[in-house]
Structure 1
Amino acid sequence: MSTPLVRAGDLGRVVATYVSSVLALALAGAVLPGLRFSSFPQLLASAAATFLVGALVRPLLVAASAAIGWLAVLLVAVLGQAVILAGALTLIPGVEADSFWVVLAAAWIAAAVATIVAWLCTSGTSEAFTAALVRRTRRRQKPVEDPEAPGVIFVQLDGVPFPVLRWKLLAASLPTMGRWIRDGGYRLVEWTPVLPPTTPASQLGILHGRIDGVPAFRWYDRALGRVLVANRTADAAEIERRASDGRGLLADGGVSISNLFSGDAERSVLTMSKIELARGSADTRRRAAWYLARPDGFAGSLSGAVAEIARERFESRRQRRLDVRPRGERGWLFAGMRAVTNVVLRDLNTALVAEEMMHGTRVVYVDYVDYDEVAHHAGALRPESLGTLDRLDRVLACLEAVAAAAPRPYRLVILSDHGQSQGTIFADRHGIDLAAVCSQLTAARVETVEQSVEGWGRLNGLLADLSGGGSGTGRVAHHAALRVQHRAAPPAVTTSSELVVLGSGNLGLVYAAEERRLTMEEITGRWPALIPGLVDHDGIGFIAVLSTEHGPLALGPSGVHRLSDAKVTGVDPLEPFGPHASADLLRAVSMPEAPDLYVNSSVDQDTGEVSAFEGLVGSHGGLGGWQGRALLLAPPDLVIPDRPIRGADELHRVLVGYLEQLGQRSGLSRDTADV
């Protein structure tokens, strides 16, 4: 049976749009003294002209925005509706507007009314957004050569611990994933990221099958003589260059969206390792401009962002009013960053994935950072952190609906890259940060990086990928992205620096600012009080160091654990950290990139709380708590191995097996090389 050219639902949406335009213009005429309609038929004609002109002009504005740059995208959002309205009103004789600013105000009133009408029609749910994505992508749908071959959408729920998701499912507050498990046979299992449980290490393993070479979220690179930060574009590119063999998870026709690394994808969008600040992505700008150019799109994003900021300010004040502890500083800056990641970036990611699905892309990997961003500042089990999972569950419902209209069947695979642990910030608990402790013990000149920069990296990625070439607006975007990158950049390690101290969750890294790694004996000879002082500190669970005589060691206040053969003298400092701590630490300490000293905070045996060396209440990067408990949720026809999955490289092999099981990776030769 042929598909009708015009559907009843389409006619209903046209009528609803037209009626809302009439109401909006009537309201604008009533509240704006500079806008006048002489009769009701004139008002009806103006609304019809606005609808028709918008249909003709909006694609041109979108194309121009994509070609020029991200500033043009913002201008489309702010001024585009006014341009459309002004053009429409010139077609209707007798309509008067005193100035362009009156028209601009009328356009924003129209956008606000459209948003309110859409909200009322959908009871405040995400169905309207889903329907818009399906309509948009259906019009751009392309035939695929193998429509029967299933595709895979890998959805990373950044930082969500396995126990948290399981509890949310038991509470029946995640209806989409709950239905998949209850009625669809999906299987939820736990997998274990090895040390360090942080996004760059885990995502490099998941996407490229390599977990070596990344000792933390950021580290001092002895060869380069500077600090590498995984969510800076140049550093992410360097990390991927070292790890890639050309056969990553996305190498055979895949697309990477909003990740640190590309997985050797043919195309990457908002992916840090592939962003070039000198040239942004016209495709990203086109898709962003489409959403912002819609009357309900930008107004919806703006209202959602404002609501997110208001929600964050209310929740942070509630924590202080109730004296919730532990808690950290949650200012206006974080509120703005939360609005970007949990509204703008989430909606844009969903639109990007939906379009890839409607094009029949074989495999997509996308990272949603909503939970991770909030849990860092609010805590892993706080209501505001758990609330992000409710909204992400609705995103999965949206992708499920898009999949039903796509040109090929899709499997949705959900996973997290690590978990989260909670606890009082180290500096708050002890009145001194790790860098100051090292400085006091050595009297050395210390360079330190302990502030959180994850959110800044995501904002930088968005700005950089929306920047445009050598145009004027592109240069503005380029400079804006550079300023954001500078905000996230670590301080330079100068020739006068003796020690570099870095915080990565509750894992501290201490380097001598030299080209080679120092052994325990050399450190003791140079700074005799450093190792004993760190070991005896109440907030430190253990330190790990490489000994000339004994090899890799874990040192605690009352004992030593020799990692090469697990021989313990005295009280085992690793006993509170689980049965796999020794093997994980041995691998980490043995890496050439490892610091001279790994410093892990203590863990509370009753609560599992740790103390981050950054200013974060929720953290990950070391040992202790739930940061090493990640999740995998897969449909029933994709086999999850019976053995435990330990390490992101092992999870990579499982996910590659899914693609091979579904007939993918046929275009990937065994001798594919990194290019």
Structure 2
Amino acid sequence: MASHETGSGRAQVAGELTRESFRRPWAAQLGAYVMTVLLMVPAVWICDWALPGFHAGPPGGPLLFAAVLALVGLVLQPVLVGAAVRLGWLGVLLLAFLGQALVVMIAARLLPMVTLDDYWSALVVAIVIGLVGTILGWIGSAGTSQVLVGRLVSTHRRRRVEIEDPEVDGVLFVQMDGVPFPVLQMAVSAGTVPTLTRWIRSGSHTMAEWTPKLPATTPASQMGILHGVIDGIPAFRWYDRARDKVMVANKPADAAVIETDLSTGRGLLADDGVSISNLFTGDAPAAVLTMSRRARGGELAQRAVANFVVNPSGLTRALSRSVSELTRDRFQAKRAIRRDVQPRCERTWETALLRAVTNGALRDLNTILVAQHMLRGTRSIYVDYVDYDEIAHHAGMLRPESLEALEAVDAVLHQLELVAAAAPRRYRFVILSDHGQSQGAVFADRYGEDLAALVARLADSEVAASDDSVEGWGRTQALVDELASAGNVSGRGMTSASRAMDKRSRNRPEQVSPGDTSTRSADRGATGAETFHVFGSGNLGLIYARGEKERLDRTELHRRFPGLVEGLALHPGVGFVVVMDRDGPIALGNRGSHRLDDGHVEGEDPLAPFGVHAPEFVTRVAHRPEAPDIYVNSLVDPGTEEVAAFEGLVGCHGGLGGWQDRAMVVVPTDLPFPTDRIIGADAMHMALCGILRHCGHREGIAYDGAPPARLTEP
């Protein structure tokens, strides 16, 4: 491993025990073995006492059995992992249960004083040992995540990787999805994110705010950050007039089309980078759990999870954390109702299950994949942790469970910091969010009808509505698609599961007729004959006249649907409406208008409550060919900065108002970065490319454009 000097302010790897284990891997192995044995003994004793089909012999039998069991597991683990990868995901799941029972049976056969009646007894012993080991390990080590990191580092020490350019610093970009700058600022001040707090207070990193442009949503921001392009994506979902098709950014097929249309081939990760758990690749040669590159990196993901679940505590850890998240979500949702916490939205078993996936197994898998690439010396890595964003959508951006998710991702940063100390090159950490988040009561709850029902009533027409919250479910399908990439029986099974998810997709439009309320039946699918298609993207609404190849202007909309545009603009829940007029796009409010091209205002400016950048941001999207016939942005309360989401979310992003356009970035202080606030994800792309170039990357890639203003050189 290349040695690197530690400069003033550089984050230190805490813990003498961790540092010693990195220097002397045999000591770490021995310590881990002894700890495993000690954690197994109580579980073996419980099985000996409670299970008729298992007996560990004399008083010292449980200790001896635990020692042999741990040794057999250590020897067989590489075999089980290799078998799991060859068999595919079905093999991973089978070996997670069956493999550990096999280890128990072998250990029992090696010890004459141990009796084991049958396979089912062995399976129960394996499950009990995994459960008890996880519980005691959590108590003894403040969580098994450190054990996970230690195993990854120990494996690297046994199989050292030599790289050609150890003098080139690697860069790890960690996207903390949806974290607003004010929320991170408060967390750092409170010290509840200890890793980031240590970095910022020590002076090794600096924290800054940046402003994503409209729309403030992951597809547009990630395309800008990773590819340097922010046009072409008007929302999370939209109607593509040229293709006569609804585009959904987290559907793999659509994400691939979007990236193909917009990528320049010189993305952020084009120089030997890897994209992990993102919507787009950044032109990385390798991509795992990435929407736009389906079925790539499957074997790497399989091996990562196989290593995790064939360990006695691995699957138990994943299951216990997922069950914990599920249980906590249900408790917290009922507590919010009991306390009448406002504003709030409906939190169902479905949203709880989604939280269990994103904040449980997916977080661990992302961490494992990032660690593996760091230990291989991959030059640049971009990973998206959606933990905070997913919970804040349904709980609120400052609620305890949302802040706990932020703390959990901060703990992941510390784990990766420990991994970096053993990596074959020095890694620089850049932390950023793709957008912020705003809060407020749902539009439909405030006014008794959602946006689609309002449009149907005002236009006296049937509407195809797409306003369900689907952002998080795309992550789950990405995981299933990765599993489907294996060329084996289980891979084909996962392909069937992925197709089934497509058929049952919540992205499918629903039909809304005049007089419908906000509660719609899930089986009322759109027929394709509806007059309008209405999309909700946070508090940004998009209304398209279906089947039209060109955008309808204000005059044509008024001729066909006389009360629609004016009715929307006068609604108390709408902040402004944007349509194309004779003299260009115009923003209409209930007390005035703002002509966007020349800035002429009549009455009260409807854009004034939305900040100084609102006219520029709205003008840009209004002139884009993919713009809808009508943009609708909800109100913003001037006192609380609350908005009203057109989706069923209490925390949202997509439009203007509140903290959704207040994103954050944390950068090492000795790297070049603009001192002025960055405006737009495309400008953020240029700044991050500047960091890579400073570290010795992108030498064979054409220059990315003019350098950011006022760079601070080290």
**Range into which the TM-score falls when normalised by the shorter chain:** over 0.9
Give the drift of 1:9. 3.4
Shift of 1:386: 1.1
2:575 is the alignment partner of 1:524: no
SS at match of 1:543: strand
2:456 to 439, 447, 456: 439
Query: C-alpha offsets along residues 204-256 of structure 1, whole Å, 9 cap, x if unaligned?
Result: 00000000000001101112212111111001111111111110000000000
Take 1:459 and 1:447, find their aligned partners in 2: how far apart are those partners?
A: 25
Displacement of 1:555 in angstroms is 0.8
Distance 1:125 1:104 in 2: 22
Listed as ranges, the matches of 1:44-63 within 5 Å are 44-63=63-82
In structure 2, the partner of 1:490 is: 508
State the shift of 1:199 in Å: 0.1
Q: Please say if residues 532 and 545 of structure 2, whose CA atoms lie closer than 8 Å, have aligned partners that are also in contact.
A: yes
**Matched residue, 1:423:** 440
Q: 1:365, CA displacement in angstroms?
A: 0.2
Q: Retained in 2: the 8 A contact 1:507–1:612? A: yes
2:501 and 2:528 map into 1 onto residues whose CA distance is 26
Relative to 1, partners in 2 of residues 1:4 and 1:634: Cα closer, same or farther, differing over 3 Å? closer
Task: Supply the AA of the counterpart residue of 2:505.
Answer: R
1:220-235 to 2 correspondence within 5 Å?
Answer: 220-235=239-254
Root-mean-square deviation over aligned CA pairs: 1.9
Call closer, same or farther: CA 1:164–1:231 in 2, change over 3 Å. same
Q: CA deviation at 1:45?
A: 4.8
Stretch deviating more after TM superposition (115-124 or 198-207):
115-124
- 1:328 and 1:108 map into 2 onto residues whose CA distance is 38
SS at match of 1:509: strand
Question: Which range is displaced more, 290-299 or 108-117?
Answer: 108-117
State the distance in 1 between where 2:553 and 2:229 align.
Answer: 26
1:355 aligns with 2:362: no
Give CA-to-partner distance per residue, 1:294-322, whole Å, 9 cap, x none.
Answer: 11211112111121112211211111111
In the alignment, the residues of structure 2 paired with residue 162 and residue 287 of structure 1 have an alpha-carbon distance, to the nearest angstrom, of 33
TM-score normalised by L of structure 2: 0.90
Mapped pair 1:601 → 2:620: no
Within a 5 Å distance, the mapping from 1:86-485 to structure 2 comes to 86-93=105-112, 95-124=114-143, 126-276=145-295, 281-485=298-502
The answer on whether the counterparts of 2:309 and 2:315 sit within 8 Å (CA) in structure 1 is yes
- Residue 471 of structure 1 and its aligned partner are, at CA, apart by 2.8
Q: Indicate the SS of the match to 1:414.
A: strand
Q: CA deviation at 1:40?
A: 4.6
- The alpha carbon displacement at 1:372 in A equals 0.2
Q: Larger deviation: 153-162 or 183-192?
A: 183-192
Give the 3-state SS of the residue equivalent to 2:575 in structure 1: strand
On the 8 A contact 2:534/2:544 being kept in 1, the answer is yes
Structure 1's 563 and 5: CA in aligned 2 closer, same or farther, altered over 3 A? closer
Moved more, 178-187 or 285-294: 178-187
> Which structure's relative contact order is higher, taking Cα pairs within 8 Å and 6+ residues apart?
1
Structure 2, unmatched stretches of 5+, are 4-21, 510-524, 705-714
Q: Cα deviation per residue 1:582-612 (whole Å; 9 max; x = unaligned)?
A: 1100111111111100000011010000000
Q: CA deviation at 1:43?
A: 4.6
Instruction: Give me the whole-angstrom Cα distance separating, in 2, the residues matched to 1:670 and 1:177.
Output: 32
**How does 1:528-547 map onto structure 2 within 5 Å?**
528-547=562-581
Partner of 2:654: 621
Residue 531 (structure 1) shift: 0.5
- Contact 2:28/2:154 (CA < 8 Å) preserved in 1? no
User: Paired residue for 1:571?
Assistant: 604
> What is the match of residue 590 of structure 1?
623
Equivalent residue for 1:637, pick from 670, 675, 693: 670
Does the 8 A contact of 1:140 with 1:359 survive in 2? no
Shift in alpha-carbon separation, 1:99–1:138, aligned structure 2, 3 A: same
Deviation at 1:412, TM superposition (A): 0.2
* Superposed displacement of residue 63, structure 1: 1.8
For the residue of structure 2 that corresponds to 1:272, the secondary structure is: coil
**Cα distance in 1 for residues equivalent to 2:264 and 2:417:** 33
Quote the sequence identity (%): 52
Count of matched residue positions in the alignment of Structure 1 and Structure 2: 668
Describe the superposition over 1:165-199 as per-residue Cα deviations: whole angstroms up to 9, x where unpaired: 00111112111111111113311111000000000
Match of 2:86 in 1: 67
For residues 433 and 17 of structure 1, the distance between their equivalents in structure 2, rounded to whole angstroms, comes to 55
Shift of the 669–648 alpha-carbon distance from structure 1 to 2, 3 Å rule, reads closer
Quote the residue 2:707 is aligned against: none
What is the letter of the counterpart of residue 419 of structure 1?
Answer: G
Contact 1:81 1:295 in 2 (8 A): yes
SS at match of 1:638: coil
Query: Which residue matches 1:14?
Result: 33
**Cα distance in 2, alignment partners of residues 149 and 60 from structure 1:** 35
SS at match of 1:508: strand
**Structure 2 equivalent of residue 23 of structure 1:** 42
After TM superposition, the structure 1 stretch with the greater mean CA deviation from structure 2, 199-208 or 494-503, is 494-503
| Equivalent-residue separation in structure 1 for 2:303 and 2:331 (angstroms) | 35
Give the Cα separation in 2 of the matches to 1:407 and 1:472: 37
Q: Per the alignment, do residues 282 and 127 of structure 1 end up closer, same or farther by CA in structure 2, a change over 3 Å counting?
A: closer
SS of aligned partner of 1:237:
helix
Distance 2:193 2:42 in 1: 37
1:606-629 deviations in Å (ceiling 9; x for gaps): 000000000000000001000000
Task: Provide the C-alpha distance between the structure 1 equivalents of 2:266 and 2:115, rounded to a whole number of angstroms.
Answer: 63
Match of 1:562 in 2: 595
| Aligned mates of 2:159, 2:277 — CA distance in 1 | 22
Q: SS where residue 554 of structure 1 aligns? A: strand
Question: 1:397, CA displacement in angstroms?
Answer: 0.8
1:507-533 deviation line (CA, Å, top 9, x unaligned): 000000123221111111111111111
2: CA distance, partners of 1:358 / 1:483: 36
Deviates further, 535-544 or 481-490:
481-490
In structure 2, the partner of 1:34 is 53
How far the C-alpha of 1:126 sits from its partner, in A, is: 4.1
Measured in 1, the distance between the counterparts of 2:703 and 2:690 equals 15
Instruction: Give distance in 2, aligned partners of 1:395 and 1:584.
Output: 35
Q: Which moved further from structure 2: 480-489 or 502-511?
A: 480-489
Equivalent residue for 1:512?
545
Counterpart secondary structure, 1:274: coil
In the TM superposition, residue 136 of structure 1 has moved relative to its aligned partner by 3.2
Give the structure 1 partner of residue 96 of structure 2. 77
Contact (CA 8 Å) 1:506, 1:622: kept in 2 or not?
yes
CA deviations 1:423-477 (Å, max 9, x no partner) are: 0000000000111111111121210011100121111011111224353322221
Greater CA drift, 235-244 or 36-45? 36-45
Letter of the aligned partner of 1:210 in structure 2?
Answer: V
